[in-house]
């Protein structure tokens, strides 16, 4: 599900690149694919995934405001952001990763996006505004809203959802360096998008990124998955973050004693990969149940 977001972002970047090359390359007959239309739809996809109070400029007119009480259970405003590819859960890690990719697509190919550039910037801002809310409290990142298990068992529109809006977080007592680092990266990348057009907003984003990336949130338990995000490798690696029974991301050294101790199935693949979708634990490793905070 989160892969849909990533594919859309990569498609947007590819479309921008191809649109830029189109004028320089000779044409030999009609194009088989309309990459301009693909770019438009890729960015429009994000508007369809918006959570929170929708603005008058919302182009996906059949969507309405939703998730307006998100975060109220912990007295934090967590409205806004993006739902996760058709689900009604907001997962912080894929949301931050997607925001980072979208921001860099604008930075690298914004000059080729033409009429879609402002829509792309709006998509970056929508994600960044949410991440500012998710990092409003020092030494804390709110990383998930919604109960994945119950949400996935109930197919309904976000405007009509009645599933629990459970809130999860990482903090010094239950750290999660992977999601904290990706959140900082998303905020920093977004700050570059608005560096010239909105300097005050850009400064706010980069200041928050610096605060999130500093100890104690990201200094604990530096996971293999951070290496896998930025570097390629030839040996299998496994992200070590998991979900505790209190609903927070943590490292193996602080895993609850009641967690299963069965060793995970050996992974013979040679590619690296980061944290799993929804923080349900390492691939093929036993996961612990989560309760509401």
Q: Residue 174 is part of a domain; what is its CATH number?
A: 1.50.10.10
The answer as to whether 257 is a domain residue is no
Q: Is residue 102 part of a domain?
A: yes
**Residue whose C-alpha is closest to residue 52's, from 67, 63, 73, 40:** 67
Whether residue 228 is contained in a domain is answered as: yes
**Residue 264 resides in a domain:** no
Question: Does 137 reside within a domain?
Answer: yes
Q: What is the pTM of this model?
A: 0.68
Predicted confidence (pLDDT) per residue in 77-133, tens digit: 999 999 997 789 999 999 999 999 999 999 999 999 999 999 999 999 999 999 999
pLDDT tens, 42-78?
A: 999 999 999 999 999 999 999 999 999 999 999 999 9
How many separate domains does the chain show? 1
> In this structure, is residue 77 part of a structural domain?
yes
The answer to the question of residue 253 being in a domain is: no
Domain that holds residue 136: 2-25+32-235
In a domain, 285, yes or no: no
CA 28 vs CA 21, 32, 36, 231: distances in Å: 14, 11, 18, 39
Residues 124 and 193: beta-carbon distance below 8 Å:
yes
């Amino acid at each position: 599900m989160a892969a849909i977001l990533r594919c859309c972002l990569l498609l947007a970047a590819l479309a921008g690149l191809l649109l830029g090359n189109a004028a320089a390359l000779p044409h030999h007959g009609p194009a088989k694919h309309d990459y301009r239309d693909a770019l438009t739809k890729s960015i429009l996809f994000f508007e369809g995934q918006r959570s929170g109070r929708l603005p008058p400029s919302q182009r996906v007119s059949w969507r309405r405001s939703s998730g307006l009480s998100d975060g109220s259970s912990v007295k934090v405003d967590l409205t806004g952001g993006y739902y996760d590819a058709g689900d009604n859960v907001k997962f912080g890690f894929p949301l931050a990763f997607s925001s980072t990719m979208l921001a860099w697509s604008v930075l690298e190919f914004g000059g080729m996006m033409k009429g879609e550039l402002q829509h792309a910037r709006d998509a970056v801002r929508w994600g960044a505004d949410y991440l500012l809310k998710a990092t409003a409290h020092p030494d804390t990142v709110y990383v998930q809203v919604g109960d994945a298990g119950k949400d996935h068992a109930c197919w309904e529109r976000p405007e009509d959802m009645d599933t629990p809006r459970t809130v999860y977080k990482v903090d010094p007592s239950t750290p999660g360096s992977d999601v904290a680092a990706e959140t900082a990266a998303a905020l920093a990348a977004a700050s570059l998008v608005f560096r010239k057009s909105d300097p005050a907003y850009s400064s706010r984003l980069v200041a928050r990124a610096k605060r999130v990336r500093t100890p104690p949130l990201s200094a604990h338990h530096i996971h293999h998955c951070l290496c896998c995000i930025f570097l390629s490798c030839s040996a299998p690696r496994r992200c070590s973050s998991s979900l505790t029974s209190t609903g927070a991301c943590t490292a193996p050294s602080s895993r609850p004693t009641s967690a299963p101790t069965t060793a995970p199935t050996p992974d013979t693949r040679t590619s690296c990969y980061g944290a799993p979708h929804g923080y349900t634990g390492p691939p093929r490793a036993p996961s612990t149940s989560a309760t509401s905070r």
